[in-house]
Amino acid sequence: MKRNFLIALVFVCSAILSGCHFDGKLYPIQGPLAAQQPPPAFPIQFTAGFSKSGGISATLVNGETLKGRWMETADAPANGTTNPGNGNTPANLSAAWDAVFGSGYYTAHVLGRRDVIRGTLTGEHGTTLTIEAFQAAQNPAPGTAASAVRGVAADSNGNVYKLTF
């Protein structure tokens, strides 16, 4: 499992090092933005270097730009360890995983994984966005590694997002 995630991460890093970046979308699932018709989608971009971390940038509602860093779980705080009382704090996105992928998803598929990447972004207007993602498919077909990634995000304005690539 970890090997597959590392392969996907190497793919992402290779693409980035060759002058590319890894683009995704954030789709509101819960919160004020999800109530809009049609619900908006927001761009998110991941970059990486030679280390086990990289940059993230996103543009949310009203054009607010957020920037931050992602890192592998070996270097990031474990999910749920710093503030288990709130399901969508930067340290705990378990409620977001269940909201996006169904009740019990976090416990069955995310809890205890060592291949989850985590990141926190801060916006110019004070919004914070926390993301988590991992390689869901064990052996993605060539050219489909990005679509095999599962991810979620939550912001400080009460919105929960599905992260897609």
Q: Tens digits of per-residue pLDDT, 106-160?
A: 999 998 888 888 999 999 999 999 999 988 766 556 655 556 789 999 999 999 9
- Paired sense of beta strands 53-59 and 128-135, if any: unpaired
Residue 64 pLDDT more than 60?
yes
Least reliable range by pLDDT among 26-30, 84-88, 148-152: 84-88
CA–CA separation, 4 vs 102, rounded Å?
24
Coil, helix or strand at residue 15? helix
What span, in angstroms and rounded, lies between the C-alpha atoms of 93 and 89? 7
Percent of the chain exceeding pLDDT 90 equals 48
Interior CA angle at 60 toward 57 and 64, to 5°? 80
Helices (H), the chain: 2-17, 94-101, 105
Domain count, the chain: 1
Cis check for the bond before 38: say yes or no (omega within 30 of 0).
Answer: yes
Structure confidence at residue 138 (pLDDT)? 67
- Dihedral sign (CA 120, 152, 96, 105): negative
Which residue range(s) make up the domain with 39? 2-164
CA distance 134 to 27: 17
Name the nearest CA neighbour of 156 among 128, 132, 130.
Answer: 128
Q: What is the pLDDT of residue 147?
A: 63
Closest CA to 32 of 66, 63, 65, 61: 61
